Amino acid sequence: MSTATIPEVKDELLDKVNAFVMPKAMPGQTVNWYRHGTAAEKVEIAVVMAGGNFRGLALKTLGTGQLRQPVRHVSDPKLQLSADQREHGAWDFTDHDKQQQARLARLETELAELKRLVTEPATPKGNKDKS
């Protein structure tokens, strides 16, 4: 059982809120939009209309054509503070974009490894230093 007091929990959450950096999404990109601000609900598709401010995007939902702003990312700790923070819903990348991001990260890792192998001097096998 946790021994943290309520003020400590609030301070910890506020630290997370202040440290949060919203992921970047580009105008015209499709994203998942959650009406009530949680990823546990039915998803709708929306188009990013503008980057908005550093904490939210301007989205246009495809189903209803409504403009929603500012829409926070589902991982934004500020959404945990109150229902008011979830008033415009929450957004996340689509599964397709998440797969593309994972592929890009893997390719960047593999490219870095290839660069390391090319620039590192080769050590002949069986030619270990016997000092």
Q: What's the token pair of residue 108? A: 């960047």
HSE-up of 36 (CA within 13 Å, CB side)?
5
Neighbours of 9 (CB within 10 A): 11
Instruction: Give the model's confidence band at 103: pLDDT under 50 very low, under 70 low, under 90 confident, else very high.
Output: very high
Residue found under tokens 């998803």 = 43
User: Is 59 in contact with 115 (CB distance < 8 Å)?
Assistant: no
User: For residues 122 and 18, which has the higher predicted lDDT (pLDDT)?
Assistant: 18
Average pLDDT over residues 37-51: 92
Give dist(CA 111, CA 104) in Å, integer: 10
Of residues 81, 13, 63, 64, the one with CA closest to residue 72: 81
User: Is 25 in contact with 6 (CB distance < 8 Å)?
Assistant: no
This prediction's pTM:
0.77
pLDDT at 1: 47
pLDDT tens profile 55-78: 899 999 999 999 999 999 999 999
